[in-house]
Structure 1
Amino acid sequence: MSNLEAVPEEIICTEGARTNGVEFLTPREVPLGGPRAMPVRRTLPQKQRSLIGAWCFLDHYGPDLVPDSGGMRVPRHPHTGLATVSWLFTGKIAHRDSAGYEAIVRPGEVNLMIAGRGISHQEFSTPDTGILHGAQLWYALPDTARNMAPTFEHYAPEPVPGDGTELR
């Protein structure tokens, strides 16, 4: 959701507090891909909040020193009825799935995998990745899309240069 106010009121959020309808959720650490896997900080789902709209998972990982940790090694696993959005800040991740899609996601790029009626995929940090840092968000598909054929899209936006900045 975007706030279109030109000068919005500043809200200071603190852990466990509710301020003007804002709820602060504390992430918990979970292993991504099994007990000896890379840890991620999972903000959704939680006992008191399983969804925010259609968003059902929110994981943040890194910055992770891949030579020390081994990086991301998520073996093939299935999904149905949802979509995953993988957004990378540093490093590279290789994606491969049962529908035949393969892609490398790089910083500033996004992978969108729509599982529909079912897909299996795997994700691994690439051998040349030194530091891995990113986020993965999952959303539940509406009933009208739950049984669609699985699909995948890779977005690599052109950078928009600014005064000492680069936006994607």
Structure 2
Amino acid sequence: MERRYVPVADVARPHGVQGELRLRLYNEASDLLLTRPPIRLRLPDGSARDAKIVATRPVDKALLVRIAGIDDRDAAEALRGATVCVPRDAFAPLSEGEFYACDVEGARVMTPDGDLLGHVRSLQSYPTCDVLVVERQGADSIEVPLTESFVSSVDAERQVVQLATLEGLV
């Protein structure tokens, strides 16, 4: 089976003249790229290429990286706007009941009665709680707070989110 790659950062811009790249991390708290996993760069023109991180260093709310073969500012500039993707199997293992946002994107969202409400489009983090953005067929998307009051279970492996209630949502 082909490896699944998950977007984790964007190339914001070159840094310096020796080919370093400044990455804008999707999750600033993540140290995944510090472990230098294999990466796939999705370029703005739609093409993709595999690459190897050879050095990393954190800086204020970003990460500076050196990629093998990118040795000057011009080569780094050519990667501006690229998306940095990491194999899903490079993510740290989780405890029982935990999941990564990428593992529930596309999951079916079921009502308390067992009917399909829609599919998870994304997970958004707000100061008070995380929410699942649920895309519904023929209706506006809704945000479902990821709390026990609204979500009774999340089965990332089966791609099913079971709601506890619809009250206050639709």
Q: Which has the higher contact order (CA 8 A, sep 6+)?
A: 1
TM-score, normalising length: structure 2: 0.22
Q: Which has the higher helix share?
A: 2
Q: Which has the higher strand share?
A: 1
Higher gyration radius (CA): 2
TM-score, normalising length: structure 1: 0.22
